[in-house]
A and B are shown apart, each in its own frame.
Chain A
């Protein structure tokens, strides 16, 4: 069964700490994404990567950075955590358009990390 695995389901950190959220997929997908989900706001794209060592800013990249050293792993980094970064973080992956027989390149999601910054 295909899988996107996020290292922690729940995480509690203090303001100012450096936080790493890890995501690993076993589907050999080229594209990986980080979203945050907040009540009433839906999912918002933080960063994404279309290939190893490549990264692109999403809609809300401020306060975040990412790392993609290997194809299967995409890390989200909070350099100095703040309380407004308390949220659910969702990792997802997929293949580029045209890589399969359909254009339905749906995203496969991890189970999420609920981060609380105190």
Chain B
């Protein structure tokens, strides 16, 4: 079974609109961390946001927020006010227990149009 599932291969949004990228995860470890990375066409992996399993509040970083629903095991990324520069591949990832290796989903390609 996949540990990280991103069901949207591609998403399209217009500038200034909000968009939600879905991510569900599977773990039996009570301690875990959830990450989102952005990969533009240049190929670099850019860290966006982190949510710990014990964090009470949803994480936010500027225009990025993580909609963490623990019971549903979902960690959706919300990008508010999309910009052309947000066009990229987005990866959801999970760290389990005390390890630091990340398990990645297959990614979602976001295209932002003017």
A, B from the same assembly: yes
The contact string, 1 if C-beta is below 8 Å from chain B, for chain A 80-118, is 000000001010101111000001111111011000000
A96 proximity list for chain B (CB < 8 A): 98, 100
Chain A binder among B11-19, B42-50, B62-70, B76-84: B42-50
User: Inside 8 A of B47's CB, which chain A residues have their CB?
Assistant: 106-108
Chain B CB within 10 A, most for which of A41, A92, A94, A104: A104
Contact in complex: A42, B44 (CB < 8 Å): no
Q: Tell me whether B104 and A106 are in contact (CB under 8 A).
A: no
Tell me how many residue pairs across A and B have CB atoms closer than 8 Å. 59
A43 lies within 8 A of chain B by Cβ: yes
User: Which residues of chain B come closer than 8 Å to A74, judged between CB atoms?
Assistant: none
- Cross-chain contact A103 with B52 (CB below 8 angstroms): yes
CA separation between A35 and B98, bound complex, in Å?
19
Residues of B within 8 A of A58 (CB): 101
From B42, B43, B50, give the contact of A106 (CB < 8 A): B50
- Would you give the 0/1 interface string for A25-58, flagging 1 where the beta carbon is closer than 8 Å to chain B? 0000001010100001111110010100000001
Task: Judge whether B101 and A42 touch: CB under 8 Å.
Answer: no
| Chain B contacts with A in 56-114, Cβ cutoff 8 A | 91, 93, 95, 98, 100-107
Chain A contact residues, CB within 8 Å of chain B: 31, 33, 35, 40-45, 48, 50, 58, 88, 90, 92, 94-97, 103-109, 111-112
Footprint of A on B, CB under 8 Å? 4, 6, 9, 33, 35, 42-45, 47, 50, 52, 91, 93, 95, 98, 100-107
